[in-house]
Amino acid sequence: MGIWSTLQIAFAAGLATTFDDTIYLTGFFGEVNRTFRPRHVVAGELIGFTVLLVISLIGYAIGLAVPSELVGLLGVLPVLIGCQGLLEAWRRWGVPSRGRFTSPPPDLPEERMRVAPGFRTRQLTPWQLLRDRQTYDVALVSISNGSNNLSIYIPLFASLTLPRVLVVIPVLYGFIFTWLFLAYALTRMPGIALVLNRYARIFFPFILIWLGIRILIDTGAIRFILGLSRVLGF
């Protein structure tokens, strides 16, 4: 049950926090040319995501020194982010009418969704790839796009034991590789990218809310909040 519960949390966290990477990854793959190759996108995304995870692991260190109930209070952040996402989706799409949303679909630059022609070029060595500025252009976009994820990963890692953290991290990387493959495929099928982005904005806030509630419950933060409210007379 412990492994199954951890996998549920890992899949929810990975799905809710990394799915939107497909949007900018699709754009990058759509701009491939003689000097900017798909491997630049793959390497840059992995570097950027790794930076985010390293920062988030500080939360695990904090969890060792701070009572779990207090760390678990950070679980409120995913709940608030999820609620904000629902409000934004409501404002963006408008009130459903006869089962359909009346607002226009999200803006996706057409020039980034075009199918890129193939190019023949020399193979880059891993060292050349790591030295190439274009790799870090992708990494910076990945970090800036995922900066909000820190408010989810930090309380998540802080609420888990080390063995459970070691289960979650490979699952998160699995999602990154999945989105890289999907984004590359979507440069050949841009219409699907529009559909995924259209409905994911409605679905994923609920996952964030569920994840935040799980953190609050698993760390005992809910009991702490209820006890504090009784002390304060609420």
Any bridge partners for residue 100, and if so which? Answer: 97
pLDDT mean over 63-75: 70
Distance CA 72, CA 11 (A): 19
pLDDT digits (tens, 9 = 90+) for 108-141: 444 444 444 444 445 777 788 888 888 988 898 8
Predicted pLDDT of residue 102: 42
Count of CA atoms in the C-beta half-sphere (13 A) of 226: 6
pLDDT digits (tens, 9 = 90+) for 164-210: 999 999 999 999 999 999 888 877 776 665 666 566 667 768 877 88
CB-based contact 160:6 (threshold 8 Å): yes
CB-based contact 85:208 (threshold 8 Å): yes
Q: Does residue 50 register a pLDDT over 70?
A: yes
For the chain, what are the domain ranges?
Answer: 2-94+104-232
Summary mean pLDDT of the chain: 77
Q: Does residue 45 register a pLDDT over 90?
A: yes
Tell me the CA end-to-end span of the chain in Å, nearest whole number.
Answer: 36
Alpha-carbon Rg of the chain, whole angstroms?
20
pTM for the full predicted model: 0.70
Distances in Å between the alpha carbon of 35 and those of 115, 128, 135? Answer: 17, 12, 11
With pLDDT > 70 as the criterion, what percentage of the chain qualifies?
A: 77
Predicted pLDDT of residue 107: 46
CB-based contact 160:60 (threshold 8 Å): yes
Q: Does residue 71 register a pLDDT over 70?
A: no
CB-based contact 7:165 (threshold 8 Å): no
**Region of 98 on the Ramachandran plot (φ > 0 left; ψ -120 to 50 alpha; else beta):** left
Lowest mean pLDDT among 26-30, 37-41, 85-89, 101-105: 101-105
Q: Which residue has the higher pLDDT, 177 or 160?
A: 177
